[in-house]
Structures are given as structure tokens and as C-alpha cells.
Amino acid sequence: MASTEVQTVQSGADKAKLGLSIALLLGGFVAFYMLRAHGSLAQWGALLGAIVVAAGVASVSEPGRRFMAFMRDSYREMRKVVWPTRKEAIQTTGFVFAFVAVMALVLGGGDALFGWVIYDLILGWRN
């Protein structure tokens, strides 16, 4: 019988790396707003630099390595997807629109029929 309990093992160093990366991100946001007088190039440079350094610090931790492996696997799986041709996409879209139109007519007709049966035939109320 398989256990469904999830165990997360993180070392203190990994927690410190993630904490440092969060602190770097916050520092980047603070620098962005404090460098307003120095122009937008300095603001955006500080923010993007902090993001790059924070991502680098986070990527050397175990959760960062797992995330990067997940991203690589996701990219590999995305490359395996067989995308439809333009003709197939247009045909499928046409079928969806036609189905929606037919269902709208069926549901609208059913609503009108039930309304007529209940209000005119059973209750005798005339609209």
C-alpha cells in the first residue's frame, strides 16, 4: 500500500537562499522607487538586476533546481504537442460556433415550449 503523505526536506541553507532571494527582490522594488530622481534607466536597471540576482540565488537551492527541472520537462513536453494546421483550426472553430448556435435554438425552443405548456395549458394564464 502506497503512502500518500508528502514529505518536504529542506536544509537550513536552502531556506537561507530562498530568504535571501526574497530580500533581494524586495530590495529591488525599494530601489526602483527610491531611484525615481535618477531616471527610468536607473530604476529599471536596479529592478531587473535585483530580479536576475534573486533568480540566480534561488536557482542554486534545492527547490530552485526542482523548479528548473520542471521547466525543462514542461518545455520538452510542449515541443511534443502536435499543433493543428490553420485549416483544421478554422474548421474546428466553425463546428464550435455551429454547435453553440444549434444548442441556443434547442434550449430557447425548449424554454418557450415549457413556458407555453405551464402557463397557457396548465395554469390557463394568457400572455
pLDDT in tens, 9-47: 578 888 888 899 999 999 999 999 999 999 999 999 999
Question: What one-letter code names the amino acid at 98?
Answer: A
Residue 3 lies in a domain: no
- CA angle (50, 51, 52) in 5-degree steps: 90
DSSP annotation of 35 reads T
76 and 93 both lie in a single domain = no
Cα distance between residue 120 and residue 127, in whole Å: 8
For 65-75, the pLDDT digits (tens) are 998 999 999 99
Number of domains in the chain: 2
**Quick check: is 96 in a domain?**
yes
Three-state SS string over 54-85 comes to: HHHHHHCCHHHHHHHHHHHHHHHHHHHCCCCC
pLDDT score, position 85? 96
The residues, any chain, with a CB within 8 Å of residue 100's CB and separated by 6 or more, are: none
pTM: predicted TM-score of the whole model, two decimal places = 0.53
Looking at the fold, whether 89 and 110 belong to one and the same domain comes out as yes
Q: Do 25 and 48 meet the contact criterion of CB atoms below 8 Å apart? A: no
Q: Averaged over 83-99, what is the pLDDT?
A: 97
> Structural domain of residue 102, as residue ranges?
85-127
Q: Residue 23 falls within a domain, yes or no?
A: yes
Shared domain check, 124 and 99: yes
